[in-house]
Amino acid sequence: MEIWINPACSKCRSAISLLDAEGARYTVRRYLEDVPTEAEIREVLERLGLEPWDITRTQEAAAKELGLTEWPRDAGARDRWIGALAAHPKLIQRPIITADDGTAVVARTEDAVRDALSR
C-alpha cells in the first residue's frame, strides 16, 4: 500500500503511527514534493469512488484564490478540478491510502486507516 502524506499534518502522522503499530508494509509519498499527475489523481479518485471536489481542501489559501467554492461540481468541470489539484497539491485532502486490493481511503480517522489495513 501507499500513503500520500504531508509530514506537517497531524492526521498523516497519526496514520503512519497506526500503520507502524500494526506492522503494515507501505511506501510513503510526500505528495507536496512528489506531486501526483492528473492521471494519478484520476486513478486515485476512481479507487476512492469520489469526485475531485470531494477530496479538495477548500479552506486553503490557494482554493480561495482560485474561487473553488464557486466552481461547478459536475462532470463538465471535473477536468478543471483535477487540473487544480495537480497544480496545487496542497489542496488534496490527506492522508490518502491506496490499499492492496485496488481501493483507496481518505485516512483521516483511525477507523479509516484500519479499514485500509483490512483490505
Residue 49's Cα: distance from chain center in Å? Answer: 12
- 109-to-17, 65, 84, 97 alpha-carbon distances in Å: 12, 29, 25, 12
Question: What is the rounded distance in angstroms from the CA atom of residue 107 to the CA atom of residue 93?
Answer: 9
Paired residues of 5 in beta bridges: 30
Residue 12 a catalytic site member = no
Q: Which of 1, 9, 24, 48 is catalytic?
A: 9
Neighbour count for residue 49 (Cβ, 10 Å)? 10
Active site residues: 9
